[in-house]
Amino acid sequence: MKKLVVIAVVAGLILAGVLFWNRRHHDDSGTLTLHGNVDIRQVSLAFDGNGRIAQLRAEEGDSVRAGAVLAVMDTHTLSLQAEQAQAQIACVCCQGRHFPGQPGLGSVAGHC
């Protein structure tokens, strides 16, 4: 009976030593590997202006390539602003013709 206990203790010590040695000498390159899903609900995008999206060409989970058009902006408001700017230029040009000595109107003379 004592012999059986001694064998069990020695076997336990050997097993503990092997496990300790295995963990100490494990090749650990400092890399952490995780498995799972990344859940992205909100992203920040940078645009040169603001406006509404007229057309969305990609959905969540779609594979896209670099440089691909993902969305098209509604340019209706921008075209109205461009027309307004053209009208203001025409108005200033008209004022320049009626008041030729007006300072500051010479800079728009090339647009008239």
Domain boundaries, the chain: 77-102
Which residues, 6 or more positions from 53, have their beta carbon under 8 angstroms from its beta carbon? 71, 72, 73, 74
pLDDT category of residue 84 using cuts at 50, 70 and 90: very high
Q: What pLDDT does 97 receive?
A: 67
Q: What is the pLDDT of residues 26-60, one digit of tens each?
A: 666 677 777 887 776 776 777 677 778 889 898 88
pLDDT category of residue 105 using cuts at 50, 70 and 90: low
Indicate the residue type of 10.
Answer: V
Segment 1-6 shows an average pLDDT of: 83
pLDDT at residue 107 is higher than 60: no
Question: CB–CB of 65/83 below 8 Å?
Answer: no
